[in-house]
Amino acid sequence: MPTIGEVLAQLAQQLEQVYEQPEARTMSEWVLEHFLQTNRFGLMQKRAGAASEILLEQVRQAQQRLLRQEPLQYVLGEASFYGREFKVTPAVLIPRPETEELVQWVVKTYERHPEVRLLDIGTGSGCIPITLAAELEQAHVWGLDVSGDALEVAKRNALELGQRVEWLQQDILREVPGLPPHSLDAVISNPPYVLEQEKELMRENVLHHEPHLALFVPNEDPLLFYRRIAEVAQRLLKPGGRLFFEINEQFAQETVAMLQAQGYSEARVRTDLRGKERMVAATWAGN
């Protein structure tokens, strides 16, 4: 039987066929940590131990999928977000670090006013509303998505993480969420914002495996979802309620202009940790 260290080295070597060496090494460590249910320090301690038949088969299957450039998070069935592990499947977008920054902005806004009512539109895995429910323990949180498969993943995550979120399956482009008018403190959304023409710039593991429904918008209407969500939010937000968006960095100022044209005030753009304009918030004063 090979040692765990040998299995790690062999996996990294195989993955170098499609990934750069540092990335292949890191991915290999994550695979072994996942199947051994340990952390990086624990993996180092186990390196000299013999790999079991079960582990060898698990690694073999993971290797096959990773060589097809299937995202690591789908292979392992989970992704980290805001210090928690979320189940993910190809029905949902893999949570991204910049979305953690959007959530942090919302948490900081309401941490002194915890009894808030929040709606996340385009919820996917549920990482946004579940995290908000966990961080703002007295909040009443809803998550909305058009995809029933995505909502099944979100419901499972809420159950496993012990958080209460109410779920709505609706098409935001055609329907208005069935919530009382002017009852929400904030609407949050990370909607589709990648232009169709940007497909050729995307990594294959994203383009060929993550749900296009959650990624792409028409080239001729990049603000399609933002404009509609802003319209719907006017009916749902209390006076003084806020809208929080994750955005395509190319369209920060266009998003601000659209919100101002709809009657929103205090529109602010925020940069992410890499200095890119990736978030916008605005206030609805009410009619």
Q: State the amino acid at position 41 in one-letter form.
A: F
Rounded mean pLDDT, 128-156 = 97
Average confidence (pLDDT) over 21-36: 96
* Residue ranges at the known binding site for S-adenosyl-L-methionine: 122-126, 145, 190
pTM: 0.90
pLDDT in tens, 176-233: 898 999 999 999 999 876 655 555 555 665 545 556 555 555 656 678 889 999 999 9
Detail the residues annotated as belonging to a binding site for substrate.
Answer: 190-193
State the Cα–Cα distance between residues 51 and 256, nearest whole angstrom. 55
Known binding-site residues equal: 122-126, 145, 190-193
- Mean pLDDT computed over every residue of the chain: 90
Per-residue pLDDT of 55-89, as tens digits, reads: 999 999 999 999 999 999 999 999 999 999 999 99
CA 228 – CA 177 distance, rounded (Å): 12
Q: Rounded CA gap, 129 and 36, in Å?
A: 30
* pLDDT score, position 200: 56
Structure tokens at 181: 């008018």
DSSP letters for 84-151: EEEE--TTSPPP-HHHHHHHHHHHHHHTTS-S-EEEEES-TTSHHHHHHHHHSTT-EEEEEES-HHHH
What value does the CA radius of gyration of the chain take, rounded to a whole number of Å?
21
Scanning the structure block, which residue is given the tokens 């009657």?
263
